[in-house]
Amino acid sequence: MIGVPSTRPGGRAPVCRPVPASRLQDWQGGRPTGTEPAGPERTSMSQPYPAESSRIAAILAHLSAPIAAILSAGLLSLVGPLLVWLVKKDDPFARRAAAGAFNFNLSFWVLFIVSWILIFTVVGILVAIPLMIALFVVSAWCHIKGAVRASNNRAYDYPFQLRVLS
């Protein structure tokens, strides 16, 4: 038997009174405590996880942009997510990830162009260099976070998006 706290008359410290284990029921289906399945149960009402190929395509969409940006000095960062979007257009999970990565990169392309324009002004270098560094750090952080979420079968909504693809 397992003890359950109760209070003594007069409001003194709680004491344990025995309760038969047969009365302790789990909230799922009336099973006695300790007989639950080891992992989480999937019911018919729960949404199925995306297929493995969808998950890999979503991770690729998130990571292709920063890899291409590093290899091409930022010029090809839109190509990876766009290719994933074109190839996996019929897969909702991969399409959403690729569209988000593309839209996010498009927004950051505009900000990088503004930074380059600022570099050619006299005062702009003081603003443009820190802005470019901040943009790179935020971009890398968001892409890595998106890839981690995709690997866990969760969607990621990027901040600062110019919505072009959906």
In a domain, 89, yes or no: yes
**pTM over cut 0.75:** no
CA distances to 7, 20, 28, 46, 157 from 57, in Å: 58, 53, 36, 23, 16
Count the domains in the chain: 1
In a domain, 117, yes or no: yes
Q: Over 50: is that where the pLDDT of 45 sits?
A: no
In a domain, 114, yes or no: yes
In a domain, 70, yes or no: yes
Mean pLDDT of the chain: 75
CA distances to 30, 31, 39, 42 from 27, in Å: 6, 8, 15, 15
Task: Give bridge partners of residue 19 from the DSSP assignment.
Answer: 2
In a domain, 107, yes or no: yes
In a domain, 138, yes or no: yes
Q: How confident is the model at residue 51 (pLDDT cuts 50, 70, 90)?
A: confident
In a domain, 19, yes or no: no
Supply the range of the domain harboring residue 63.
Answer: 52-151
In a domain, 139, yes or no: yes
Nearest to 67 by CA among 51, 83, 52, 54: 83
Range from 5-19, 58-72, 78-92 carrying the lowest mean pLDDT: 5-19
Structure confidence at residue 26 (pLDDT): 42
Structure confidence at residue 113 (pLDDT): 84
